[in-house]
Structure 1
Amino acid sequence: MCGRYVTVSKVKAVEKRFNAEVATPDLWRVNANVGPGSKAPVIADESPNSIQHFQFGFTPQWAKKPMYVFNARSEGDHNKENDPSYTGAKGILQKPMFRKSIRDRRCLVLADAFIEGPEKEKLSKPYVVYLRERRPFAFAGVWDEWVNTDTGEILRSFAILTTVANPLMQKIGHHRSPVILEPDQESDWISNDLPIQDVTAMLEPYDAKRMNAYPIDPAIKNPRAQGVELLKPTGERVFKEYDYEIYEELRLEGMGETRARQRGRDEKGRQQSLF
């Protein structure tokens, strides 16, 4: 299940990428360990030009108390064996928890990477999973609005859709994949005019050939742990790559720097050391 993910991109880069404006810039922060209970950026169907911060961990409007459900299974109660070749019905349409939101309360969950581990060891053996060709990207999400009847507080929360494991997730040893949308699917996902059969057609695993992963320290398991250093590789990537240093990119973004700026700083330091 996708219970931890990474958001390190700058506000301006995210606004440009998704053609939307961050509603509350003061809430924007680097987060190498987004987990249930965190406020995280989403673009919801009811405000497609606004990047809002909802709580990660879904609570349906009819709940008596907050529930923090962070994943929504595309298959619902079907495919209990998590067979990666499953192509049957999308049972989420019948699940009381999500059957309303999947129809008219969908959102884009913005991320730069996510954290996953084997089914048994879980985050005791974590990996950073990323897309080779782009970031930030969007998970398919659903959201709802819950009202605390005691205080009147309004809670907007979301869950990430999951589907069967693609070959990369299988290689890691995990039994599920988060649903990652293609850029040309994003506006459709948050359109309430889209027929429900077209919605469920998107609930497929992302192409594993366009992804990769590498192991990191289990310190990420602590939900309070923070810092881009958590994303430092502790071993080789699952699929060999020779032309892309994903950790360095994530680290620089998280520190508010770019490669060009770092080169300038390094060059300045070298010049100073000569005298």
Structure 2
Amino acid sequence: MCARFALYASLKMMMEKYHFADTSEITPRFNIAPSQPILALGMKADRRTLGATQFHWGLVPYWAAEANGPRPVNAKAESLTNKPMFRDSFRKRRCIIPASGYYEWLTKGRQKIPMFIRHKNLELMSFAGIWDCWKRGTEKLFTCAIVTTEANELTRSLHDRMPVILSPEDHANWLDPNTTDQATLLKILKPYSESVLEIILANPVVNSSKHEGPDCLIVPSATAWLPVADDGNLPIR
């Protein structure tokens, strides 16, 4: 599952990784929540260059009667080919959603302890996304969802799902609208290697989507609220 994530990389770092055409400044965000606008990358009309845009996080299919109905923020990889909510977007409208990492919560009794999953070397993550455009008259609403898969060994202690993190060699196939072979696309949607990821503590302020600043990843010095195992370690893998 992925219902909260962060994107605080510099524009320079993102341009070096993705080589997208747009150059507008990007504001660092440390606590991105559902329904908010998020950065997404997709193939431009020339089908050779990437462009950057903003989608609202929570998919509204083009055929929905209303724009304010259910807006799933995640789409299970296993359901992309058979759920009408996702099927057309999977076939025709795929994107990459850059992230610096994402949050999950460790539940211990009544406590919910925020954790942040990121690359060990602090590389950007490329979440697999699908998008759609809902239209009524002159009104247009562009929305998206993050594709999820089974959790890997590292993250399973927090949740049984994780976002699909695309390898660089899979970017082209995922973004190319000419790639319509479902078997090829589904092979891409696998758990990411746990060997290059790490889990760190996050600040409890992240529990509220009102907090979007860098303090979300600054753990308070007083950590008495943290449960520990008998060996003195946090109860995570």
TM bin, normalised by shorter chain, reads: 0.7 to 0.9
Alignment of 1:110-129 (within 5 A): 110-118=98-106, 124-129=112-117
Give the partner amino acid of 1:59: V
Q: Distance in 2 between matches of 1:13 and 1:190?
A: 20
Unaligned runs of 5+ in 1: 77-91, 240-275
Give the partner amino acid of 1:3: A
Whether 2:165 is the aligned partner of 1:180: answer yes
Corresponding residue number in structure 2 for 1:147: 135
Among candidates 32, 35, 38, match of residue 40 of structure 1: 38
Q: Distance in 2 between matches of 1:179 and 1:123?
A: 27
Report the structure number with the largest CA radius of gyration: 1
TM-score, normalised via structure 2 length: 0.84
Give the partner amino acid of 1:184: E
Would the aligned equivalents of 1:123 and 1:220 in 2 still touch at CA under 8 Å? no
Alignment of 1:51-90 (within 5 A): 51-66=52-67, 67-76=70-79
Tell me the percent identity. Answer: 26
Would the aligned equivalents of 1:109 and 1:138 in 2 still touch at CA under 8 Å? yes
TM-score, normalised via structure 1 length: 0.73
Unaligned runs of 5+ in 2: 221-225, 227-232
Per-residue CA shift, 1:197-227, capped at 9, x if unaligned? 1100011100011100112222211111121
Per-residue CA shift, 1:171-217, capped at 9, x if unaligned? 3x311111000111112110122222110001110001110011222
Q: Distance in 2 between matches of 1:119 and 1:202?
A: 30
Q: Distance in 1 between matches of 2:214 and 2:38?
A: 17
Report how far residue 29 of structure 1 moved. Answer: 1.1
Measured at CA, do residues 119 and 190 of structure 1 come closer, stay the same or move farther in structure 2, by a change above 3 Å?
Answer: farther
Would the aligned equivalents of 2:43 and 2:51 in 1 still touch at CA under 8 Å? no
Corresponding residue number in structure 1 for 2:126: 138
Would the aligned equivalents of 1:4 and 1:35 in 2 still touch at CA under 8 Å? yes
Corresponding residue number in structure 2 for 1:164: 150
Please state which structure has a larger fraction of its residues in helix. Answer: 1
Q: Distance in 1 between matches of 2:41 and 2:110?
A: 29
Q: Helix, strand or coil: the match of 1:54?
A: strand
Would the aligned equivalents of 1:119 and 1:174 in 2 still touch at CA under 8 Å? no
Q: Distance in 2 between matches of 1:214 and 1:143?
A: 30
Q: Distance in 2 between matches of 1:22 and 1:11?
A: 10
Query: Please, which moves more after superposition, 190-199 or 42-51?
Result: 42-51
- Please identify runs of 4+ aligned residues in structure 1 that moved more than 6 A: 119-123
Corresponding residue number in structure 2 for 1:94: 82
Whether 2:8 is the aligned partner of 1:8: answer yes
Query: Please, which moves more after superposition, 209-218 or 113-122?
Result: 113-122
Q: Distance in 2 between matches of 1:121 and 1:158?
A: 34
Measured at CA, do residues 122 and 167 of structure 1 come closer, stay the same or move farther in structure 2, by a change above 3 Å?
Answer: farther
Report how far residue 137 of structure 1 moved. Answer: 2.2
Alignment of 1:19-38 (within 5 A): 19-22=19-22, 25=24, 28-38=26-36
Give the partner amino acid of 1:187: A
Corresponding residue number in structure 2 for 1:226: 212
Please state which structure has a larger fraction of its residues in strand. Answer: 2
Q: Distance in 2 between matches of 1:144 and 1:73?
A: 16
Corresponding residue number in structure 1 for 2:17: 17
Q: Distance in 2 between matches of 1:139 and 1:123?
A: 28
Q: Distance in 2 between matches of 1:43 and 1:57?
A: 16
Among candidates 175, 178, 193, match of residue 190 of structure 1: 175
Q: Helix, strand or coil: the match of 1:61?
A: coil
Q: Distance in 1 between matches of 2:108 and 2:20?
A: 39
Q: Distance in 1 between matches of 2:159 and 2:110?
A: 8
Q: Distance in 2 between matches of 1:75 and 1:94?
A: 8
